[in-house]
Structure 1
Amino acid sequence: SAALNLFSLTLHTCPLRFGLQCGVCMREPQEPVELPCHHIYCLTCIKASLDAGQTSCPSCRQQLPNDFQPHVSEDTR
């Protein structure tokens, strides 16, 4: 239907509140975590990547430090 198409279009064209987008889920980051390379992800998204064995940034592939522990960044919250 036309209404559904308009709704779908609005979802994809609305600007993000702070202009930030999680590189995993492509939505505005929930509980944002900033990696050393300055890419930002949702806490749950980056934890899932790390739990799956990923050791680098999903966006730029920069290797994460061995002792990297994700924590919510107050600067981007």
Structure 2
Amino acid sequence: LSTIDSGCREHPNIPQVLITHHPEEIVSGITHVLMIREGSVVAQGPKEETLNEENLTKTYGVPLKAVHRDGRVWILPS
């Protein structure tokens, strides 16, 4: 993850793609997210706007909330 994070900072004009099931792994340099559940898009857009309680709950099927801090997101039970 540190390699992706430094790549985002050092080369901001080169697209970086990170695929994960764990939103807390999304490094600060990643600016946009695509959230998928069972092959269908739940939400997409800027990380800070898209990783929210409604979209997380739809994606994972359990009540969740997001805490955004220092460019990272932390997922907690709602």
Provide the TM-score with structure 1 as the length reference: 0.24
TM-score between the two structures when normalised by the length of structure 2 = 0.24
